[in-house]
Structure 1
């Protein structure tokens, strides 16, 4: 890898993370933990709730559709709301919204009531991720952003780690409804704490305008910034990559708990023991990858090129996913699932690192919202038909098709963004 010019790498000593920034990151992590915990509850309790509320796998596909359609719309809308009104009020409203929806899911006594609660949850949950991006840009010095993003963004995996055992305990010790209601109440409390914590509207270390390179053409606040973003080929390459790669993550999130119970033969309590292992590995791997990017950046390397290398190397592992149904060993299947989950989460962190390094902070929340929406759109279509594909072709077709999507995405990113970095170095 070649070194970027001194002006781009910032040779000044790295700034320390402000104490308040650590507390903000901690709250962001707590909210993302609940965000993922709450959305996992239905997939984990799917076998129980199918009997309780009388629905099948194709109806379950409709529930994922009910969640993801408003999720897509609100991903775009939430990014613009955050850029307009800030992270304090937006995160508070989002967290209260999905917590109320989770409580409503637990109080549902019919399929239609459950579907309505999933609509509300889908509308509230996506806003958390643009908030994370903007809050980190607001609070964290530029030399520590890759690390901060790699710590906060995959924190949702902790929710996925905690979900199987805690949901199993709540469902068996109390009732399956308690697995929805209790976390929902906790979410409302943490949302209130966020409101009283995120009170600063300007970053403590440097002005937002200096937080990232400008777009190829001058941009102004408001619509001009978004127009400039949408004219950038690099952003379109990230859009294309998200459209291809996101369905992998959403499928594993929504369908793997049911697969392990219904096809691999795990009980709910056994799933509680092993179901969190892929997400534990993902959290650790993301922190390591984020630190690697920061270390290379501190040594004068181009962080964007480093991230592209990480995309290429991790994408090469994804074809292993096609082997999940070909093994009779539950342990081997879980190892492969773990690898896929780690790569998916590493890519989500990588996308945010690209956005922070390529585009101005004032459009980052909107950029995260747009990317989340387009990725969730293809995931919505895929999950809508997943039940029918499963009925006609079984899991083999699903796992095989998903195994090639990250390698294709890596090619797009390397060709477009890698070429732009080479041209940039040549003209420097």
Structure 2
């Protein structure tokens, strides 16, 4: 029991580093753009280099994780992305910045294919939502502390210092990971419906667990399986652009249309704090519903429906008369999105066999980065002419559309 949660704790720390490294560019964007002579469309292009690599990595890293196992795979990924992040501090042009962000994307996606595989192997259906919420909390904590941390690191000399320091922290993380997660340590779960109890033997999941869809090769087989995976992929494609927008563009929006300075955008930590509550609350709430007798998939979908009904408030971010009002609405929709994402991610661990989980999770998560790519391209090319308001309006209804897709695909569950 203690060991299982210790591993989740290390996944939490890895996720903190993952998002601090990712957010460094967004937080320092005004300074870096000025220093390197970058326009907004060029900044969008740099973000897209990251997302293209991120998409490729999702498709490859999942399969690699299934072959290597979580211990070796995550050590490889975090080493790679930490070095790439440090190299970003050496950027002297648009080309070099794009290249190093591409390398960062290749490494960072592996964190999100490894973590759910570990959770699927070590935790039951009733615990998975909380476990996934806890390590995903690392992402939101990372995004919360990133603004003040990155601005402080950059203020100690030059903006490059922030990339050097955060990258080095990732290499230090390897020490406890390799010490705690011994090479001979394995839950040794039996295929299908069992999970490891931490007491040396598998235990059967309860009857309320959904039937896992059959999987083989790259992903799945059978009409039902493809419907489920496609629905999960499309749901990520539709909804994750909101999260990517908050990460990469919200600080720029506050500077461009709300009149904040770069130092003042550190206030965005409150938005990511709300995401922290969404990460924990979403996983905890679906777990409570399942423990009270609700079928697993129904419990996840019930929470996701509630979250989808909150996301239309995204439009009010642009309409709020004050900065504080905009921040409040941003907090609400970010909390709702994070709770949505936790339950959507947990659905994958509920439905996909453990031996192919990372592969299929990577395939589903690739939909997320495709959505981010589309969002970046649209925002980068339209913000100059039309401002940010159309983007907020467009993002406000996507979760309800995604919920309709999932409801149809999972109605038999």
Question: Secondary structure of the equivalent of 2:249?
Answer: helix
1:145-189, CA deviations, whole angstroms, 9 ceiling, x for partnerless residues?
A: 221111112320111011001111111233211111101001011
Map 1:108-127 → 2, pairs under 5 A: 108-127=91-110
Question: Secondary structure of the equivalent of 1:263?
Answer: helix
1:13 aligns with none
1:70-106, CA deviations, whole angstroms, 9 ceiling, x for partnerless residues?
A: 1101101111111111111111111011111111111
Matched, 1:136 2:104: no
Q: Kindly indicate whether the alpha-carbon contact (under 8 Å) linking 2:192 and 2:212 is maintained by their aligned counterparts in 1.
A: no
Matched, 1:149 2:132: yes
1:308 aligns with 301
1:228: Cα distance to partner?
5.1
Separation of aligned partners in 2, 1:420 and 1:213: 10
1:196 aligns with 179
Q: Kindly indicate whether the alpha-carbon contact (under 8 Å) linking 1:244 and 1:378 is maintained by their aligned counterparts in 2.
A: yes
Separation of aligned partners in 2, 1:151 and 1:110: 38
1:264 aligns with 258
2:147 is aligned, of 149, 155, 164, to: 164
1:323 aligns with 316
1:215: Cα distance to partner?
4.1
Question: Secondary structure of the equivalent of 2:48?
Answer: helix
Separation of aligned partners in 2, 1:92 and 1:196: 12
Matched, 1:238 2:232: yes
Matched, 1:420 2:412: yes
Map 1:237-386 → 2, pairs under 5 A: 237-272=231-266, 274-386=267-379
Separation of aligned partners in 2, 1:260 and 1:380: 22
Q: Kindly indicate whether the alpha-carbon contact (under 8 Å) linking 1:318 and 1:343 is maintained by their aligned counterparts in 2.
A: yes
1:382: Cα distance to partner?
2.3
Matched, 1:401 2:394: yes
Q: Kindly indicate whether the alpha-carbon contact (under 8 Å) linking 1:213 and 1:360 is maintained by their aligned counterparts in 2.
A: no
The runs of 4+ residues in structure 1 deviating greater than 6 Å are none
Separation of aligned partners in 2, 1:215 and 1:160: 33
Q: CA RMSD in A?
A: 1.9
Distance 1:30 1:208, change over 3 A: farther
Distance 1:321 1:213, change over 3 A: closer
Aligned length: 398
Distance 1:385 1:216, change over 3 A: closer
Q: Kindly indicate whether the alpha-carbon contact (under 8 Å) linking 1:99 and 1:187 is maintained by their aligned counterparts in 2.
A: yes
Q: Kindly indicate whether the alpha-carbon contact (under 8 Å) linking 2:233 and 2:366 is maintained by their aligned counterparts in 1.
A: no
1:37 is aligned, of 13, 20, 23, to: 20
Q: TM-score, normalised by structure 2?
A: 0.91
Q: Kindly indicate whether the alpha-carbon contact (under 8 Å) linking 1:202 and 1:208 is maintained by their aligned counterparts in 2.
A: no
1:303: Cα distance to partner?
2.2
Q: Kindly indicate whether the alpha-carbon contact (under 8 Å) linking 2:210 and 2:297 is maintained by their aligned counterparts in 1.
A: no
Separation of aligned partners in 1, 2:114 and 2:309: 31
Unpaired runs of 5+ residues, structure 1, are: 1-17, 422-428
Separation of aligned partners in 2, 1:225 and 1:215: 13
Question: Secondary structure of the equivalent of 1:420?
Answer: coil
Q: TM-score, normalised by structure 1?
A: 0.88
1:129: Cα distance to partner?
0.6
Separation of aligned partners in 2, 1:313 and 1:225: 30
1:196: Cα distance to partner?
3.1
Unpaired runs of 5+ residues, structure 2, are: 195-208
1:271: Cα distance to partner?
2.0
Distance 1:316 1:142, change over 3 A: closer
Map 1:16-95 → 2, pairs under 5 A: 18-95=1-78
1:225: Cα distance to partner?
5.6
1:331: Cα distance to partner?
0.4
Question: Secondary structure of the equivalent of 2:84?
Answer: helix
Distance 1:380 1:335, change over 3 A: same
1:232: Cα distance to partner?
3.4
Question: Secondary structure of the equivalent of 2:380?
Answer: helix
Separation of aligned partners in 2, 1:126 and 1:314: 25
